Each structure stands twice: as structure tokens, then as C-alpha cells.
């Protein structure tokens, strides 16, 4: 898909990568909340695809069956534990909540651990 003539004209006047990023953000029709939700959904879809692939591969190789749903839950939990540990080491637990919290369903912290 080629850019429209107006977009091509705008891009031809860009002086560098920083200005291109700035113009891209200005032209973005998504708010930061939508962008954040999109990133979260993209992560979950990617993990779901990986869970289906891994469970299918294990079944074909006779390594035992595991349901894609159970594998997806374990993969997401492992990722959240890892991220929480990294944010805790850096002392930025608010950043963790900001990145992984969605609406009122935020990850609840209990001292040095969390509950999904």
C-alpha cells in the first residue's frame, strides 16, 4: 500500500528521524490509553500463538500433552513475575503498575510478590 500524495508530501519535508517520530506521534489517531491497550493485546495475542505452537510441537514430538490455555496462563504468569522482579530491583514498582495495569484490574502486590 503506497502512501497518499498528501502523506508523501509531508514525509518529503521531514528533516530527520527525530522529526519523523514527532510527526508520526502527532498524526496518530490513537490516544496513549488506546496505544497501551493495543500493546497489551498484542503481547497477549503473541503469547497465545506461541502457546498453541509449543503445545502442538510437544504433542507431535510425543513429549506429553498440555493444553494451550494452561500453557498461555503459565507463560503470562512467568513473564509478569520476571517483569515484577526487574521493576522491584530497580525500585520502580509504580512503573510496573503503570505498564501492566489495565483499568481497575491492576496487579495486586503483596510485599515482595504479586497476585494476578
Q: In terms of residues, how long is the chain?
A: 116
What are the cell numbers at 43?
Answer: 503481547
Structural domains in the chain (count)? 2
Residues 22, 43 share a domain: no
Half-sphere exposure of 90 (CA within 13 A, CB side): 11
Q: What is the pLDDT of residues 25-42, one digit of tens each?
A: 555 566 777 777 788 888
Q: Are residues 5 and 55 in the same domain?
A: no
46 lies in the same domain as 90: yes
Please check whether residues 38 and 81 belong to one and the same domain.
yes
| pLDDT tens-digit map of 62-115 | 888 889 999 999 999 999 889 888 988 998 888 887 887 755 454 555 545 555
Q: Are 95 and 87 in contact, with CB atoms under 8 Å apart?
A: yes
38 shares its domain with 71: yes
Phi and psi based region of residue 29 (left: phi greater than 0; alpha: psi -120 to 50; beta: remaining): alpha
Same-domain check for residues 46 and 85: yes
CB atoms within 10 A of CB 114: 21
Amino acid at each position: 500500500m503506497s502512501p497518499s500524495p498528501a502523506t508523501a508530501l509531508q514525509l518529503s519535508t521531514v528533516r530527520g528521524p527525530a522529526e519523523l517520530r514527532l510527526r508520526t506521534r502527532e498524526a496518530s489517531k490513537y490516544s496513549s490509553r488506546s496505544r497501551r491497550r493495543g500493546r497489551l493485546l498484542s503481547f497477549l495475542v503473541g503469547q497465545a500463538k506461541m502457546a498453541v505452537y509449543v503445545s502442538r510441537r510437544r504433542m507431535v514430538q510425543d513429549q506429553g500433552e498440555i493444553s494451550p490455555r494452561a500453557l498461555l496462563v503459565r507463560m503470562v504468569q512467568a513473564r509478569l513475575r520476571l517483569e515484577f522482579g526487574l521493576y522491584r530491583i530497580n525500585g520502580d514498582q509504580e512503573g510496573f503498575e503503570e505498564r501492566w495495569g489495565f483499568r481497575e484490574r491492576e496487579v495486586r502486590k503483596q510485599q515482595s510478590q504479586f497476585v494476578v
